[in-house]
A and B are shown apart, each in its own frame.
Chain A
Amino acid sequence: MKYLMFVCTDTEPDTDTENEPDIDVWVAENDASGRRLQGMVLAPKSSATTVRVRNGKLLVSDGPFAETKEVIVGFDLLQCADLDEAIEVARAHPMARGGRIEIRPLADFEQ
């Protein structure tokens, strides 16, 4: 299955900073195993723009659409056997400690 991993900040990061995983090692390992198909880091949220069309009218506004303190800072597309495997990949990401990670399967229209 394909999962999109949203890498987010969190207002309460882990205070335990021992043995923090290295992001380069995480990328290299998951690229090598074929579990990470691609991934990107986003520019700061101050650069975000929200676009809506309502009644044919374009509405452009500044900032991310969700008014939360936690912001998405990057994403990775995973290929995993199941959710448990995706959870194991996510837990090893440094941002599982420094922030939080949301795992969403891609919709499967073949089903």
Chain B
Amino acid sequence: MTAEAAATAEAVAAAAAESYPRIVGALIRVTHDWTLAEDCAQEALTLALERWPADGVPDNPGGWLMTVARNRAIDLLRRASVEQRKLRELAVLALTSEPNPAEPQAETSEVGDDRLRLIFTCCHPALPLEARVALTLRTVCAVPTADIANAFLVSESTMTRRLTRAKTKIADAGIPYRVPGGRALGERLPGVLTVLYLLFTNGYNANGEPAFADEAIRLARLLKELMPGQPEVPELLALFLFQHSRREARRDAEGRLLTLDKQDRSRWDHASIREAAAILEGTPRSDGPYALQARIAACHATAESASATDWQEIASCYDRLAKTYPSPVIELNRAVAHGYAHGPEVGLALLAQARAGGALDDYPHAVAAEADLTARQGDRDRAAVLFRRAAAVAHSESERRALLERADENAG
């Protein structure tokens, strides 16, 4: 690819990320037809890739894409033999008399933001959770169905059916295309944030699709801009940015995941860390789930070295998380944090409590945590046995090898 072609491809990608949800959102608002809206937006992007290399990138890429998509929608509606097509055609035509969607300052509250409407509809609790994540990726982030299918380990045709079922339910059940107001907004926002969180963790997981983490961050930024006054949004964005700052340092040369104490901290994205810290600073202190997780992530991200980590603060955040959002994994992390903050005996006692219910049986991280605490307590032989036991139940080969290495270190 020549430099010029690469620049054009980049311009299309940037315009796509910015304009796609606006175009799809506006077309759904006026036609109520999700498939038509997606097809037209997609065709506009394809045409841009064809034309822009020869004609140059237009001054207003978003406006250009919107016009092409709108004209295509009118074409398709003219061909359709639907009774109401005249009405829908007029509605689509009216899209041009609306403020230009590529100029954010021109948006009126009357039209509202189509992207926000789209996000809330894709994340409606009446849809199955996995469909909400997939639909958000497809419709808001323009991720190709094949890529979503890969990430969720299903075939493309299965994912296509899942998306179609979700769109059919939206139409048949009468799921409104609207940002909920009043009390409903507060009730529905956490569900939207859950979808973003799943999107991020899917991108961040060892075998996940890294681009999804970027999409989650982009959506969190968008929500923060469009919904000021909802503190959970910046809290979630800060959490994402702290985690994401380690993306270049998380693996060794062979691609194996590294624990925090083994990572080269100079390779962390310190601009992201500063941004996240500033966001957290500007948000009223709360004990919400994202706020607590972001504060924990901040302790790790801002520590000069692993040994300089503020484990007291981390342990206290986990205490509060465990009280409000109890789960075996939170209890496990709480035990680890207390192990560093107050000594391995305290950690082991809390770990025994966390495992009492049996929920962490064969959970490799629980066995590895016990091994680590035991090693720090000084019982290296037992630690070596436990590291081997953890390796035997590890979920991935790289995890298994890392645990066996720890076993060898202690067996000496």
Please report A residues at the B interface, Cβ cutoff 8 Å: 1, 3, 80-84, 86-88, 103, 105, 108
Contact = CB atoms under 8 A, between A and B. Distances in A.
What's the interface size class on B, roughly? 10 to 19
Interface string B111-140: 000000000000010100000000000000
Nearest to A110: B83
B206 interface: no
A6 to B, nearest CB: 14
Contact of B184 (A80, A81, A84, A103): A84
B180 interface: yes
B172 A105 contact: yes
Interface string B161-182: 0000000000011111010100
Nearest to A87: B126
Contacts of A84: 175-176, 178, 180, 184
B180 A83 contact: no
Contacts of B124: 83
A87 B178 CA distance: 15
Q: Which of B124, B126, B174, B175 has the most CB of A within 10 A?
A: B174
Interface of B: 124, 126, 172-176, 178, 180, 184
A88 B181 CA distance: 12
B178 A83 contact: no
15 contacts: A1-B174, A3-B174, A81-B176, A82-B174, A82-B175, A82-B178, A84-B178, A84-B180, A84-B184, A86-B174, A87-B126, A105-B172, A105-B173, A105-B174, A108-B172
Nearest to A111: B171
Contacts of B126: 83, 87
A108 B172 CA distance: 8
Contact of B173 (A81, A83, A88): A83
A105 B175 CA distance: 11
B80 to A, nearest CB: 13
Contacts of A1: 174
A81 B176 CA distance: 9
Contacts of B184: 84, 88
Closest 8 pairs (CB-CB, A-B): A82-B176, A82-B174, A1-B174, A83-B174, A83-B175, A83-B173, A84-B176, A105-B173
B28 to A, nearest CB: 14
A97 B16 CA distance: 46
Contacts of B174: 1, 3, 80-83, 86, 105
Nearest to A84: B176
A109 to B, nearest CB: 12
